[in-house]
Chain A
Amino acid sequence: QQQVKQSPQSLIVQKGGISIINCAYENTAFDYFPWYQQFPGKGPALLIAIRPDVSEKKEGRFTISFNKSAKQFSLHIMDSQPGDSATYFCAASRGSNTGKLIFGQGTTLQVKP
């Protein structure tokens, strides 16, 4: 019940296209859903996050869509750029509790110029 499942494992998108990464969770006690971006040799960087009281959050080219009833959330990267090429991790936590993050398996995104 603690798992977060992420798909796809890898994704190739043309410059200017939309990248979509999906995650599903089981534990309905989770109340915080962040996305992290990680470049090789670096630590994960917080990209955008959502709480279950809203269905969508947008920050620049990055949007999280959240479906509470389906227990799914997704990251959309609009107008994808080669600089977006990285590994993306979704995560979930009970921020109101310890806040320890349960991560998805990661998606390697390659944006072709």
Chain B
Amino acid sequence: GAGVSQSPSNKVTEKGKDVELRCDPISGHTALYWYRQSLGQGLEFLIYFQGNSAPDKSGLPSDRFSAERTGGSVSTLTIQRTQQEDSAVYLCASRPIQGPSSYEQYFGPGTRLTVT
């Protein structure tokens, strides 16, 4: 079946502008994660959604970052007033929660964000 998809694949924005990044998880996967991959920080967790539970926002680096998940499927990560240090690849992952593969997270191709 289809994997995790993300859009756009690349985004160049000017410092101070807002950006929205989209993630479509694998159908039937109830858990969704956002991670950030940057040269200096490696791969780091940002936020986690599971069903109707309150999201785990413990990895968001500042209040300029927010995310939502509508209808238990598509998720949008929003970065307000972008800064140059926000330049990174933003990765989305989903996992099924139930069944023999319940711990396995599958990643999308990522969105490469460049803030100029």
Contacts and interface: CB of A to CB of B under 8 A. Distances in A.
A98 B48 contact: yes
Interface string A30-70: 00101010000111111001010000000000000000000
Contacts of B48: 98-100
Tell me the dominant secondary structure on chain A's binding face: loop
A3 to B, nearest CB: 11
Contacts of B25: none
Given A45-B107, A49-B103, A95-B103, A101 B35 contact: yes
B35 A46 contact: no
B36 to A, nearest CB: 11
Nearest to B92: A43
Nearest to B106: A46
Given A102-B45, A103-B42, A106-B42, A43 B107 contact: yes
Interface residues of B, number: 24
B42 A32 contact: no
A99 B106 CA distance: 12
Contacts of A102: 45
B79 interface: no
Interface in B59-116: 59, 91, 93, 95, 102-110
Given A43-B108, A49-B103, A49-B104, A100 B43 contact: no
Contacts of B33: 99-101
Closest 5 CB pairs of A and B: A95-B103, A43-B107, A103-B43, A100-B45, A32-B103
Interface of B: 4, 31, 33, 35, 42-45, 48, 50, 56, 59, 91, 93, 95, 102-110
Given A98-B56, A101-B93, 9 more contacts: A42-B110, A49-B104, A89-B43, A91-B43, A95-B102, A99-B31, A99-B103, A101-B33, A101-B105
10 contacts: A34-B104, A34-B105, A36-B107, A41-B109, A44-B107, A46-B104, A49-B104, A98-B50, A100-B33, A100-B56
